[in-house]
Amino acid sequence: MNFLVIYYSLSGKTKLVAEKISELLNCETEQIIDLKNRKGFLGFLVAGYDALKKKTTDIKQITKNLDFYENIVLCFPVWASNVPPAIRTFLNNFKEKIKNISFVATMGFHANESMFKEINKIINKRPKFTISITKKDLKTKKYLDKIKEIKKFYEKD
């Protein structure tokens, strides 16, 4: 079984989680890069607005050929109880190529079921698993226990 961890991260938390998952699954990562500048307070406000309005954005061309991978683990931060525009663009562009997908969302406070429903609508495919990682999980390192569960999900297959 082969895996690819794909992530979008603005301030580095999701990147950290994605890298840990890639170590665990012994696989490569691919970073989604949003070409819109989202730095600073204005960037934050526009980011939240764009996510809320379900906007897409231009992203840098990805380097991996997704046809090659059996399982994608997509990691992203929650924005305005929604998915970041870069994730929406990525899924719109590549959903036909994705065989199996799972979601790992990082967030400030708590799991957001409506966000997972929204992302399921975009890709129209049942994820193998969804994991929510809060700021507290990162601080207390509980996220390491949460991501260890990933191996069990795949071992069930």
Ligand X SMILES: Cc1cc2nc3c(=O)[nH]c(=O)nc-3n(C[C@H](O)[C@H](O)[C@H](O)COP(=O)(O)O)c2cc1C
Restricting to residues 32-51, name those near ligand X by CB under 6 A.
Answer: 44, 47-48
111 lies in the site for ligand X, by CB under 6 A? no
Q: Which residues contact 110 (CB under 8 A, 6 or more apart)?
A: 132, 134
Nearest distance from C-beta of residue 19 to ligand X, angstroms: 11
- Give 24 or 154: the residue with its C-beta nearer to ligand X: 24
For residue 130, give the amino acid letter. Answer: T
Among 3, 5, 6, 9, binds ligand X (CB under 6 A): 9
| Span near ligand X by CB under 6 A; candidates 27-35, 74-82, 93-101, 142-150 | 74-82
Residue 11 binding ligand X, by CB under 6 A: yes
Indicate whether 10 belongs to the interface with ligand X (CB under 6 A): yes
Number of helices (H), then strands (E), belonging to the chain: the values are 6, 5
Residue range at the interface with ligand X (CB under 6 A); choices 4-12, 54-62, 66-74, 121-129: 4-12
**Among the listed residues 14, 22, 71, 132, the single contact to ligand X using CB under 6 A:** 14
By CB under 6 A, the count of residues binding ligand X is 19
The count of other CB atoms within 10 Å of the CB of residue 21 is 23
DSSP-derived secondary structure for 45-73: HHHHHHHHTT----BPPP-S-GGG-SEEE
Verify binding: residue 144, ligand X, rule CB under 6 A: no
Binding site for ligand X (CB under 6 A): 9-15, 44, 47-48, 77-81, 106-109
